[in-house]
Amino acid sequence: LQSVLSWGVERLQPGGARSWHNARWRDVNILQAYYWQGARVADVAEWSGYSDIHVMQTLRPKAVAALAAVLRDELRDPQDVAGRQRVAAADLVARLPKPARDTAVLLACFDQAVSLELLYALAPTADLPQALEALTQANLLVPVADTQQLHPLVLPTLRLQANPLQRQTWQWQAARYYATKGDPLTAVASYREANLLTAGVELLVETWATILKQGEQAEISRLQTELARYLEQSALAPAEKAQAQAIAGQVAESLGELDTAELHYSRALTSQDTAVKTTALYRLAELSKRKHHMDLALAYYQRGIALLAEDETQNPALLARLHVDRAMIHLQEKQDLDAAQSDLVAADALAPAVAQALQADLHNAWASYHYQMKDKTAELAHRLQAWLAAVETGDSERMMKTAHNLGQAYAWRGAYEQGLDYLGKSLALAEEAGNQQLIGANRKTRGNIYFWQEAWALAEAEYLAAHALFVQMGSRNWQGYLAYELAELYATRARWGEARPFWETGQQIAAEIGNEMLAGGLRALGEQFPLLAERSDLNERQEAALVYVREHGRVTNRDYCDLTDCASVTAARDLKEMVEKGVLVVQGKGRGTFYALPE
């Protein structure tokens, strides 16, 4: 009852400056004076400036009536259930023994449940078992396993009762406890609550990569949330803020939030720490590559290389990485072999200081260089070294990539069975990991091998599967290359109705993304097969017959019927049209009539 009355009086409070001379506060002042402070009528009369009789006969009844009206309205139509519960909880806590109140204040300082082990370490009272029993009897605890957490209704009230310095000390002790228990994110949160932001950022720097590698979505979301909270802290020093921005970029990138990642990395560039700044530059370069902004990527690489070149001892592995990745742009996008070679030579000089993973990528880049130099022997040697280095790392992603590249190198040398073997290894790893891009790349390369072996149906199946996958992924660059492969396959088979749309689509994509290598390949394909640029007015049956004639030298009316499953009359009409269009010529007479290509 007392808590309900307290809530009612609280609801009567009008706001503004409280005073006995303010008529709006009169009801509240009288109720609190009489029923909470136990004041006498004479005291109230003196404070209010009215006579004893007026207070007794008019002011007190009016105040009680106002309170009754508030309670009656709430009973009829509850509007502030949470407020009544909060006041009731505060009243309940006030009645607890001091050890229980002190323990409740301790628990209220934490957002999460507190283990009994930590609670005993922090306990402000020696009577902890009795305090917990009292809180349990009052239904103020939510026990879960061996942890304790206060009922949410009493948290706001009790947090206000905590001494700020004591609360900071508890959070600091808790942070150290959680760090030793392998719960870095809870430790980071406690460091933040203790206003020990530098310690929190240091722990984030130590642990973020492990959290991302473990790949538990809930933990990654917690990491992202905690980083956002740190970045909101005005007291966070610029150096720590830049570190947090760089980590937040990595987390956002891992979640596919590329625009958010780019924003975080850009903000990290304000760092005066070369390691933080160059890491941000590297990630921005990688994001630019993913968006196919190659010139911007080269600018980021150049700035990072310039910073690290001033002191190669600072991070030789990152410097080598920047050179290797920039070399790949020169090779794959710019066809600038001299610039690529310069980068690779620079990376070679740093090779003793880098790990096997980067060694694998360096060999892979050299292999790409030798491929463009048409030195197949050197290319294959580097592909093998890249594969072996990847196997040593145990990194399945590098293994699937280097196996694909090695399979491709064997295929280009005509060693098709070896090529298919390594492509099979890569495809199996890619399917296990769910790497859609590499699944598509392997199927494309297998299609190449089948095409060179003139296994047309197998090549078509692989190309179409890869094309569908890249369409689903929205990968325009890969779609363009598959359009080339399919156009070449269908043109080789004189299936012009199918070849032309892919040839035209490939040209559109090449222009759209600025891929000059793809555009040049499609132009060359058009020169090799001039009919790609010509609009055919042949129907599907006639197109199929044309392919048949190219393979067999001639076609008869009966051949046409068998090939296209049509009637003899339809075959005669189609063949007559092809003769009239100059596509075929008729030879022989009577039963010996056949149709062939013009001389």
Domains belonging to the chain, first-starting first, are 2-79 (1.10.10), 87-162 (1.10.10), 430-533 (1.25.40.10), 540-596 (1.10.10.10)
pLDDT for position 227 = 97
Q: Is 94 helix (H, G, I), strand (E, B) or coil?
A: helix
Containing H/E element for 127?
Answer: none
CA angle, residues 561, 565, 568, in degrees to nearest 5: 35
CA distance 583 to 545: 11
CA distance 398 to 403: 8
Using one digit for the tens of pLDDT, what is the confidence trace for 16-74? Answer: 777 887 788 888 888 878 776 778 888 888 888 888 888 888 888 887 888 788 777 76
CA distance 83 to 110: 22
Lowest-confidence pick of 204-213, 334-343, 352-361: 352-361
> At residue 314, does pLDDT exceed 90?
no
Using one digit for the tens of pLDDT, what is the confidence trace for 405-459? Answer: 999 999 999 999 999 999 999 999 999 999 999 999 999 999 999 999 999 999 9
- Residue 556: phi and psi, rounded to 5, are -105, 175
CA angle, residues 417, 418, 420, in degrees to nearest 5: 65
CA distance 325 to 346: 12
Contacts of 191 (CB under 8 A, 6+ apart): 171, 172, 175, 197, 199, 200, 203
Q: Which amino acid is at 21?
A: H
Cα 39 to the center of its chain, rounded Å: 65
CA distance 273 to 278: 9
> At residue 140, does pLDDT exceed 70?
yes
Using one digit for the tens of pLDDT, what is the confidence trace for 79-114? Answer: 766 666 666 666 777 778 888 888 888 988 888 889
Q: Is 114 helix (H, G, I), strand (E, B) or coil?
A: strand
The structure's pTM equals 0.67
Cβ neighbours, 10 Å, residue 520: 12
CA distance 67 to 343: 82
DSSP letter for 148, please. E
**163 confidence band (pLDDT: 50, 70, 90):** confident
CA distance 105 to 101: 6
Using one digit for the tens of pLDDT, what is the confidence trace for 190-238? Answer: 999 999 999 999 999 999 999 999 989 999 999 999 999 999 999 999 9
Using one digit for the tens of pLDDT, what is the confidence trace for 516-542? Answer: 989 999 999 999 998 888 766 788 898
Containing H/E element for 586?
Answer: strand 585-587
> At residue 1, does pLDDT exceed 60?
no
pLDDT for position 3 = 56
Provide Rg for the chain, Cα atoms.
39
Task: Provide the CB-side half-sphere exposure for 359 (13 A, CA).
Answer: 16
Question: Contact, 190 vs 167, CB < 8 A?
Answer: no
Question: Contact, 596 vs 585, CB < 8 A?
Answer: yes
Question: For tokens 């004591």, what's the residue?
Answer: 166
